[in-house]
Amino acid sequence: MGSRGIAALTAIVLAAAATMAVFLYVRGIERAQTDGADVRVVVAKQDILAGTDLDELIEEGAFDYADIPQDAEVEGAITTLSDLEGKKTSSPILAGEQISTARIQGSNDLPGGVLGIPDGFQAMSVALEAQRTAGGAIQNGDNVAVYATFDEAGEAEATARATGANSATVRVAGGNGVTLALVPEARVLDIAAPGTGAAIAQDGQTSLVTLALSPQDAQKVAFAQETGRVFLALLPPGQEGVPAAPLTMVGLLK
């Protein structure tokens, strides 16, 4: 092959390589425009507590829009502020965090309904004064331990049977009473003061506290509400509840 033929072949090879490079470059741009496209979502400018009325925060400008890669979008991400109108948070939201429907009350389409009830649990409400709710410090999303106090021995023994405790352990002389740890740990789904709209009970008022309970624990709490007095103890963040043996006057004096 002469020099002209070699030169022509080289030109053809270079042209083909250049065409392929252009093709790959264009395909890369197209892929970036589709698979890696940004999406616009609503984010919080500040930390938001559970049970917060979002209408007030919208008026205060507490939300912003952020463009993020499509593969970074959380499931159920809120994309417009109108989706937050008339809603409350069901759990805390951190500043800069995407807001998803899982964090918002008010939609029956959400897993667990408007309260976000965990699978296999039930929602039950108890009306309690401030001294029975850690001074009114309990908030949505907190974990609490549920205790019940009974004044009469008969009620104590009935509760022992209802809760599965050893009746011999809780049997006491008439009138001495007993305190039981009904539920070592329960999640607070909602809390409000009936008739006031307040989340924290003041002295002399009652808070309506809604808990996520297993069916068995719901039976225990229902029984305790009707025959004894229920107390909620606030657990520190991240700390698990610990089962405790029934306490009687005899045990208290030891």
CATH of the domain at 77: 3.90.1210.10
Q: 89 and 142: one domain? A: no
CA 15/CA 22 separation, integer angstroms: 11
Across residues 143-169, what is the average pLDDT? Answer: 65
Task: Tell me, yes or no, whether 81 lies in a domain.
Answer: yes
pLDDT recorded at residue 254: 63
Tally of domains in the chain: 2
Q: 42 and 144: one domain? A: no
Residue 106, helix vs strand vs coil:
coil
Last residue of a domain, one of 115, 141, 164: 115
Last residue of a domain, one of 89, 115, 141: 115
What domain range is 184 assigned to? 122-252
Last residue of a domain, one of 115, 137, 160: 115
Q: What is the per-residue pLDDT across 170-223, written as a single tens digit (0 to 9) for each?
A: 444 344 688 889 999 999 988 875 443 344 445 557 888 999 999 999 999 999
CA 184/CA 213 separation, integer angstroms: 11
CA 116/CA 140 separation, integer angstroms: 11
Q: 111 and 156: one domain? A: no
**Which residues are bridge partners to 77 per DSSP?**
100
